[in-house]
Structure 1
Amino acid sequence: MSLKPHDGFVFNHTMLRIKNPVVSVDFYEQVFGMTLLRKLDFPEMSFSLYFLAKLGESDTPPTDEGERTQWTFSQRGVLELTHNWGTESDADFKYHDGNAQPQGFGHICFAVPDLNRAVAWFDEKGLDYVKRPDQGKMKNVAFVKDPDGYWIEIVQPDLLGGLGR
């Protein structure tokens, strides 16, 4: 069997630009249970990168900085939050969420084991909804917004067997 050029490729991360890292990192840690894997600062270019992922109980990131960086870039399903320094101090600053015109980027997605329980959790946390599971033509799918207005789709996989049929 011959190797293909793409053998071994791993989808590692998606990047979102954020206004305030304190608010956004806390949101993804507290609401979605993600763990900050690594923060990288680039003072000469005035920005920082925050890499978060939903880790399993047996996942233990290395403590050595270099090893931890390599480990972070070998994971799957990582969310990179990019903070351009100073945006947090500008009351009028806002990133385009990709869903307003002109449309581009759409959303990220979390699969959950129990959609109703997740919705109750989001309600408790006071999240803003784009769409609740019982709204619109597509049922059993929710969309919430993160602090920067990016859309997050919420799905329960076992409820979606008939989707698109």
Structure 2
Amino acid sequence: MSFNGEQHPGVQTPTADSAGFRLNHTMLRVKDPEKALAFYTRVFGMRVLRRLDFEEMQFSLYFLARVEEGEPVPEATGERTVWTFSQKGLLELTHNWGTENQADFCYHDGNAEPQGFGHICFSVPDLEAAEAWFDANAVEFVKRSDQGKMKNVVFVKDVDGYWIEVVQADRLAALGD
């Protein structure tokens, strides 16, 4: 028997019309792409799969992923664009040109009032090693794994103030009801 998902009020059975649908990416707006790219590539080991510039509308999109060693990625830009939009779990950083030059410019992180967007999440193989890595790279913590009511869950901030949850999957088996 295949897993059909947990059942809760409001859950409906998917129809054949949505067969093949998958979540491809989550988008965050960034003030300065150089700083954001440095953070996500260095601290979280992501790679830029594709940059798309839209000169008429004055913005750029950067699609990032944690590519596994040896995973084949197309070299040709058109093929890589198609491949990028067929992946799971990408991060899109959107840069509206000129924001990096505005000293007081910032985006709402979703956690200040009024709350909305909350966070993205990375799974790591060793939570203590990840915390040490964040300390070594001067990453700002919202919450460490030994703080608060939810142990074994870390929250850090990226350079734009967005929250990033960091978990070690095998420590979460007893989480929730």
**Count of aligned residue pairs for this structure pair:** 163
Q: 1:70 aligns with which of 82, 85, 98?
A: 82
Q: 1:85 aligns with which of 89, 94, 97?
A: 97
The aligned residue for residue 128 of structure 1 is: 140
**1:117 CA displacement:** 0.5
Distance of 2:109 and 2:73 partners within structure 1: 31
Query: Residue 31 of structure 2 aligns to which amino acid in structure 1?
Result: K
Q: Which moved more, 1:52-61 or 1:20-29?
A: 52-61
Residues 1:6 and 2:30 aligned together: no
Distance of 1:113 and 1:63 partners within structure 2: 29
**1:58 CA displacement:** 2.3
Query: Residue 68 of structure 1 aligns to which amino acid in structure 2?
Result: R
**1:71 CA displacement:** 0.5
TM-score (norm 2): 0.90
TM-score (norm 1): 0.97
Q: 1:146 aligns with which of 155, 158, 162?
A: 158
Q: 2:34 aligns with which of 8, 19, 22?
A: 22
The aligned residue for residue 110 of structure 1 is: 122
In the alignment, structure 2 segments of 5+ residues that lack a partner are 1-14
Look up the SS of the partner of 2:43 in the other structure. Answer: helix
Distance of 2:69 and 2:21 partners within structure 1: 25
Look up the SS of the partner of 1:143 in the other structure. Answer: strand
Look up the SS of the partner of 2:53 in the other structure. Answer: strand
Query: Residue 27 of structure 2 aligns to which amino acid in structure 1?
Result: M
